[in-house]
Amino acid sequence: MKYFPIDRNLFIKNRKKFMAQMKPKSIAVFNSNDIYPIGADSTMPFEQARDIFYLSGADQEETILVLFPDALDKKNREILFVRETNEHIAVWEGAKLTKEQATAVSGIETVYWLTDFDKVFFDLMTEADTIYFNTNEHYRQAVETQTREDRFIQKCKQDFPAHQWAKSNTILQQIRGVKEPEEIALMQTACDITEKGFRRILGFVKPGVWEYEMEAEFLHEFVRNRSKGFAYTPIIASGANANVLHYVENNQQVKDGDMILMDLAAEYANYSSDLTRTIPANGRFTDRQKAVYSAVLRVKDQATKMLVPGTLWAEYHKEVGKIMTSELLGLGLLDKADVQNEDPKWPAYKKYFMHGTSHHIGLDTHDYGALKTPMKANMVFTVEPGIYIPKEGMGIRLEDDVVIQEKGEPFNLMRNIPIEIEEIEELMNT
């Protein structure tokens, strides 16, 4: 791994939080991700399943975590199964975790080779009444590929039909949404790496460059700072491309007078950052660009102040919509009749700002976290309003990542990344 070792006490704390909410005589199992094929002997780079990483820190394929708080033998209350390494594997793939290294990373004392799993698991299931399955229930999930977790669940239901089933997701939605200090520090590192990439690009951009050249500049800066690269597929959208919310082609040449919307950020140690900035290709905003940009920035600043303990996510978005409506009226994009005659299910402002303002962020860019209950301190949210005007060939979005505080305004993890018009123009023309 490129990242520095993570204090295993983070994973010890995370397991304690999860096990504290498990039913009596229950067992929970978490599987690593598969390595997915491309074709021939090619595979996609391995990405660890976020839940097993959250609970163990094990960043390796073919890994299984078992939690059984009521196991009769204390050594079986936390077990990590890892792939057995040997000299041949070490030569061709690099050494895998030894049992001692797995303990050092995770804080789990009982480590077995994966080949022992079926035997050990069968013995543990004779003591358990309920098994927690780790299903993906994120509100945005649309997964068609069968995962290693899916295969385990199918087999387990066949092999142990008399056991009761429960969902790990219900617990994970609660505990993963509220970050530990160590997690916030890792996310700050990801944001700091993103800052380096953005400052680099401000001195690089000019009319005539290609969007993919900008992508390459970011990637260079991210990887040289111990990131694997982008936390999600990067969007670098010049001119009218910015009106396509998920524009990822990044294959157009930047023109003089264009605004360039960049929605991209670095990961670090599997934790995401999520940034959007919109800059003028030639280093100077026009008056109209300034007006729209300033409106978006005001919405972002006012929305950020509402992210405090007790806020309801759905109500928050309604309030942001009211603020955006006022700004769109000021820009002449809406008039009073538009607002008076709007469809409550699709308010008038949605014509120019059609997506949500905030989502949880953490190990996943769209992270797990409670959305139907009041916000809590140490939840981390994005704030990302935008105004999209196809007729003017312009789309502007601004986005930061903020931590909800027990008292006062949220703490902005991207506070050092330039966003004010004057600072951006100064840096682009230095």
Domains identified in the chain and CATH numbers: 9-176 (3.40.350.10), 181-428 (3.90.230.10)
DSSP state of 188: H
Q: How does pLDDT run across 82-134, given as a tens digit for each residue?
A: 998 777 776 677 778 999 999 999 999 999 999 999 999 999 999 999 999 99
| DSSP output for 293-331 | HHHHHHHHHHHHHT-STT--HHHHHHHHHHHHHHHHHHT
Q: Which residue has the higher pLDDT, 92 or 26?
A: 26
- For the cut 80, the answer to whether the pLDDT of residue 307 exceeds it is yes
- What mean pLDDT comes out for the span 132-146? 89
Average pLDDT over residues 150-171: 97
Share above pLDDT 90 across residues of the chain, in percent, rounded to a whole number: 94
Phi, psi of 276 (to 5 degrees): -135, 130
pLDDT above 90 for 185: yes
Q: What is the DSSP letter of 150?
A: H
Report whether pLDDT(376) > 90: yes
Mean of pLDDT over the chain: 96
Strand-pairing partners, residue 381, are 360, 402
For 211, the 3-state DSSP assignment is helix
Sign, Cα dihedral of 345, 346, 348, 349: positive
Name the more confident of 61 and 139: 61
pLDDT at 77 over 90: yes
What are the tens digits of pLDDT across the range 400-426? 999 999 999 999 999 999 999 999 999
Q: Looking only at Cα atoms, what is the longest distance across the chain?
A: 74
Q: What is the pLDDT of residues 312-354, one digit of tens each?
A: 999 999 999 999 999 999 999 999 999 999 999 999 999 999 9
Tokens of 233: 């597929």
Greater model confidence, 19 or 37: 19
Specify the DSSP element, H or E, that contains 99. helix 99-106
pTM, 2 dp: 0.96
Q: What is the pLDDT of residue 402?
A: 98
The long-range contacts involving 423-427, CB below 8 angstroms and separated by at least 24 positions, are 424/202, 424/277, 424/279, 424/280, 425/280, 425/283, 425/284, 425/285, 427/199, 427/202, 427/203
> What pLDDT is recorded for position 137?
87
Q: Which residue has the tokens 């524009």?
A: 247
pLDDT average, residue stretch 265-282: 98
